[in-house]
Structure 1
Amino acid sequence: MISLKLQSPSDTMASLAHRARQLRLSKNLTQEGLATRAGVSLGTLKLFERTGKAGFETVVKIAYALEAEREFEALFPPSQITRIEDVVEKAPRKRGRRK
């Protein structure tokens, strides 16, 4: 199977950081103000905005401080169960098969 991805993980992180910065500016927040609201250090926020590098917990804290947490709901959506038979017939996988 060939996968054609237009963005690398680094591109995605940089794009996310850019959008977070734009949202911060649209809310008229300073980096220091956002860092305080998010409960992260100013250096961590600056590094995130500049490079896109941050731990997942940090990114979630920043998103909550920017009131953008709803976007995470679509990241790994829960499986949709429509019938009770689906639950009874097939137990959810606990491990993947591929390496």
Structure 2
Amino acid sequence: MTLIAKIRADTVFDGHISTIANLKSPKELRLQLAERARELRLTRNMRQSDLAERSGVTLASIRRFEKEGEISLKNLMLIAIALNRAQDVEQVFRLNEDIDLFKPEPRKRQRARK
């Protein structure tokens, strides 16, 4: 087993061990994200050209995104806003914390450890 495969097999997320079968490749994640965006667009009865006009993203970029999952972060955010899903983008990399009124807030990290 390669080192990367071992890391994937033993990776811990939120206290749960995730098996390699649960992890998706970057390509699979991109395609899944593109499919979700396409489904949202269709539920809003929007053509690709409508989304392009509303988001300011070129029609070619939207077509490439829906077909191949390839898009810049900036354009992904513009599409999310046009589909009224900006709150989903805001959740990426957000710390999953429960608010405890009696617990002092931890200090914000200023930099990574060496």
Where on the TM-score scale, by shorter chain, does this alignment land: which range? 0.7 to 0.9
Residue 64 of structure 2: aligned partner: 47
- The CA deviation at 1:94 is 1.0
- Which of 93, 96, 99 lines up with 1:76 in the alignment? 93
Q: 1:52-85 deviations in whole A, cap 9, x for unaligned?
A: 100001101000000011112221115858515x
Sort the Cα spacing of 1:93 and 1:8 in 2 relative to 1 into closer, same or farther, 3 A: same
What are the superposed Cα offsets for residues 27-70 of structure 1, whole Å, 9 maximum, x if unpaired? 00010010111101100000000011000011010000000111
Task: Give the % identical residues.
Answer: 31
The structure with the largest helix share of the pair is 1
Match of 2:49 in 1: 32
Which TM-score applies when normalising by structure 2? 0.71
Unaligned runs of 5+ in 2: 1-6, 12-19
Structure 1 residues 38 and 78: CA distance shift in structure 2, 3 A: same
What's the counterpart of residue 67 of structure 1? 84
User: Of the two structures, which has the highest relative contact order with CA contacts closer than 8 Å and spacing of 6 or more?
Assistant: 1
Query: Gaps spanning 5+ residues in structure 1: where?
Result: none
User: Deviation above 3 Å: which 4+ runs of structure 1?
Assistant: 78-82
